[in-house]
Structure 1
Amino acid sequence: MEENITNNFENRIDTSSLVDELNQLRKGINTIVKGQEKTIDLLLTAILADGHVLLEGVPGVAKTLTAKTLAHMIEGDYSRIQFTPDLMPSDVIGTNVFNAATHAFDFKKGPIFGNIVLADEINRAPAKTQSSLFEVMEERQITYDGHRYTMEEPFLVIGTQNPVEQEGTYPLPEAQLDRFLFKIDLSYPEEQDELEVLKMHHQHQNPTNLMDSQYKLSPQKLQEFRALAKQVMVKEELMSYILKLVRLTRMSNELYLGASPRAGVALMNASKAWACLQGRDFVTPDDIAYVIQPVLRHRLIMTAEKEMEGENMDRVIDKILHMVEVPR
């Protein structure tokens, strides 16, 4: 991360201390979660951009540990929902419970009411349960029995799914996938990182005990950094660049479904958050290139022919990225 960079935000807030604190936060998470540096960078970008994340990886690559560690480090309320085929919408958002003392029904909040909500194996629940997430993911609120319940900030849904095991799973609706800012593919750690994991377990080190308070980021600081991310400047030619990339996905003969206007907004907001993480108050084409794959890979659908050929979605996105002239 770039350091000691002079920022020119209109409100003249010095971001150097906030950048330093996020560096400390990253360092703290990396002491617990080994070999997932880019995943952590993208998660920090998502939380600054106020976007949800879909993590896809085989079992054992620290998807749950990453979510739990992030919640602890930002001093947030962590909630975990195990998605199963018999999970009902009320098991997620809550339900009315009769209060014998008042002879009235009280709303009992479900596990979705948290700051960092882990939707574990999210693709194991049927469409009826998935639809209960639509409103809360987009509007940060729950409407139940005519009453509206607003989520506390920050609010981040981290969904996980296994790319290998398909038995007993349901494809996520396109409308729900479009509500995730990023889809992050978790790979196996490098050899040295995996050796560190072995050493931790050999020494019986509980990852929870390694969560040092010196690395934590207070909710107040997080809100300040979010406010700064919103103020990051995007030149009009870069907005046009983003628009061309998004619209080109709708014309590609390799794609059956292109990106929606929401995808363009997501690409811009993610680029602003990533630029802010670098200590800059302006977006560059490199910022857009860095986040374009996790922003688009779950929003696009390849044609049946390309799928049969074994084409990779990230390669398709790279082709589109190189088809548009980069603004100077």
Structure 2
Amino acid sequence: MAGNGGLDLLVQGANWEVLQTARYANGKWAPTKHLFKSGFFYDFTDVVQNGRLRLFIEQPTGSDVTLEETTQNPDGSWPAPTPMPGLAPVRVTSKPTRNYLAAAVVGTHVHLVYIDTNGRLMHTMEQSHGTWTAPDQVAPGGAYRNDWFESLSAASVGGGLQVAAVDQIHRTVLHTALGTNGRWTPWSNVLSWAGTPRHWGMPIRVAMAGFGSSLQMVVLTNGQVAQYHTIRSPNGHWSSWDDINARVDFNRAGFIGTVLQEVTAVNVAGNLQLVFASDDNRGTLFHTTRYANGAWTQATLVQRYTNMSAWRPAGVAGSSG
């Protein structure tokens, strides 16, 4: 693991490999190592809990999808993923795509949200004895309850769970929170609060990270220069969108005009670190940091600092702890 002030990064290879690297507090990257290869999987996500890196993966098994987990051993090795106790396989009615899992540690519990094969957002929580609660639908009421969600993210904010999802039916991003009473707040349309950027297009991915009682959100759209950042304050107010590309200059880092298709957002020592995955034929990854004072670092090409030439990255999941 990266240790204090570092970023742990898991990478999904295009041929269903799971890779691991880390960015240390001094800015150096760890060598990339191959953890395991699956015949096929839909998505993965990770958290750090009690100093241990945990991986959750969506594994197809015949006509079902099984949610599986594994935890890194103290020596750095990884056991093979096994089914999450208490969760029945999810019947496949259509083929999911990536970014269908998100997890967050809230207090002493891990919460997992996922998009089922009917497009609904579902939620489960790991109990103290290691089994998972029966899945419940996230924010089941309101105008958006039957929409088909394309991407989601989860974050621990102020001691509670907050969830965001891309709703392509309404070309927007929605937000909800799980209250202490166990009920979800109604879906809120983020664009209604933060406005609509000039080059908005179609949103495709959302990623979030908690900072105390505030939340930072990043959204990717299907445009080449359309990646945006906003902050949700403790009072529920959203800031206007900030144009990430204008701040970090992906072209200078080697962006070749393809869409940035994946992103992970992590609170690392009070600063927001982002890793983006491109859909080019090399699986190019880009890293940037937004400091607590609002300044951004220029985007850098991750493969310049850690060798991934044996694989083509296709997805990313970051954590810190």
TM-score range for the pair, normalised by the shorter chain length: under 0.3
TM-score (structure 1 length as normaliser): 0.27
Structure with the greater alpha carbon radius of gyration: 1
Question: Higher strand proportion, which one?
Answer: 2
Larger relative contact order (Cα-Cα within 8 Å, sequence gap ≥ 6): 1
Query: Normalising by the residue count of structure 2, what TM-score does the alignment of the two structures yield?
Result: 0.28
Q: Between Structure 1 and Structure 2, which shows a larger proportion of helix residues?
A: 1
